[in-house]
Amino acid sequence: MIIDFHTHTFPDTLAGRAIPKLEKSASIRAFTDGTVNGLIQSMRESNIALSVILPVVTNPVKADEINEFAAETNRCHDQVFSFGGIHPDTENYRDVLKRVQGLGLKGIKLHPEYQYTDFDDIRYLRIIDYAEELGLITVVHAGFDVSFPGSRHSHTEKILNVLEKVHPQRMVLAHMGGYNMWEDVKKYIAGSDVYLDTAFSFGEKQIAGLLDEHSFIDLARTHGMKKILFATDSPWGEQREMAEFVQTCALTEQEKEDVLYKNASRLLNLS
């Protein structure tokens, strides 16, 4: 069994415009067409049982609309489970988070780069703190982003400020704790009480500088294998390739099971 904890899709009417635009801004190509059905087809080809979809709210007034669409996605599909989203400029953030909980969504996605806000901004701190109170998981983009060269909204020191001020228990730092900042992750974040997902952090992709097998295993074990979540960032990571990377690397069988599905199953409280 495999659970992919970090994927993205768009409504069918939007995917055809969004994917080419994002491919151009990041200088990478997508491995699916960006739709839910495209993701499910990729899952079938990769033997992935469940994918978590993480919507990014780039307009604060669209949060409720996006979360309603996420709930509808969950009602229509058994193979995927969408989280909700929220923007730091959302004024009624408590009401929005309560609705996320009421819709049965298990968590939210934050993206400091696409939301143009430092991760340790007080608006994020309030959202994370209340999400914790409601029992929601918070997944946040961590580290650099290929679409925003040089931007530091999710840099290590900002992550550390959040961990110090909020002490989250259900936070997932994407991209193994910080895309292309993995030495800092190992030095300052590894071992802390957060989860790391593997999205867009290893594999034979068109982006240089990803973790090789030895570096991935070293960072994962330093942090703790019970807190590593398999994730691909589909459509930007190829699900089959990334699953095979974990399945064939030099982890123990128990470690592979933990990463591929047991840790995610426990965090999502799946039966």
Separation of alpha carbons 83 and 101, rounded Å: 10
Report pLDDT for 207: 65
Separation of alpha carbons 245 and 240, rounded Å: 9
Residue found under tokens 């969004």:
18
Report pLDDT for 263: 98
Question: Following DSSP, what letter does each residue of 42-90 receive, concatenated?
Answer: HHHHHT--EEEE-----SGGGHHHHHHHHHHHHHH-SSEEE-EE--TT-
Q: 162-217 pLDDT, tens per residue?
A: 999 999 999 999 999 999 999 999 999 999 999 999 999 997 665 667 999 999 99
**Cβ 222 vs Cβ 191: under 8 Å:** yes
Half-sphere exposure of 133 (CA within 13 A, CB side): 10
Q: What is the mean pLDDT of each run of 10 residues along the chain (271 residues)?
A: 97 93 90 97 98 97 97 97 97 97 98 97 98 98 90 95 97 97 96 97 73 96 98 96 96 98 97 73
Residue found under tokens 């994730």:
231
Residue 204: DSSP 8-state: S
Half-sphere exposure of 225 (CA within 13 A, CB side): 16
Question: Model-level pTM?
Answer: 0.96
Amino acid, res. 138: T
∠180-186-189 over CA atoms, to 5°? 100
Angle between the N-to-C axes of helices 93-102 and 122-133, in degrees from 0 to 180, rounded to the nearest 10:
30
Which distant-in-sequence residues (6+ apart) come within 8 Å of 59 by Cβ?
Answer: 87
Report pLDDT for 271: 73
Could you tell me which of 224, 215, 128, 228 has the C-alpha nearest to residue 176?
Answer: 228
Question: Following DSSP, what letter does each residue of 101-150 receive, concatenated?
Answer: HHTT--EEEE-TTTTT--TTSHHHHHHHHHHHHTT-EEEE--B--TTSTT
Residue found under tokens 């307009």:
59
